Amino acid sequence: MNDYKTKVEFQSGRTLDQSEIGTIILRLSNEDGISDIRIEPDTVQLEYLNHLHSSASVKDALVRAGFPFIAQKKKPGIFKRFIEDLAQQNKKTYGNKRLDCCNTD
């Protein structure tokens, strides 16, 4: 493989039928710098020229061609992770009971 080409593989969010595979191949074939396209019912493999495309632009081309990507969970932000960690620490320390100061007995 040449240094100016990158080979990538993407997983599909669902199984593709033959008509979808044909449509995706046709649309990707029209993109400059994308070659060696191989599509299985659940994956796509291709090569792209580094000076024409990035990984993000290849993904955009696949989306435009109709390729269904696996939905990825968004990683929680730093503040949300801090709050979740704080809640977990409080649960370890105090359990599930109310604090003594909050009891109305």
Q: Where are the domains of the chain?
A: 1-95
Both structure tokens of 57: 């632009």
pLDDT in tens, 74-93: 777 889 889 889 888 888 88
Q: Hey, what are 12's tokens?
A: 């599909």
Its pTM stands at 0.59
Read off the pLDDT of residues 24-64 as tens digits, 9 standing for 90 and up. 889 988 889 999 999 988 889 999 998 898 888 888 888 88
Phi, psi of 85, rounded to the nearest 5 degrees: -65, -40
Top CATH class, 1-95: alpha beta
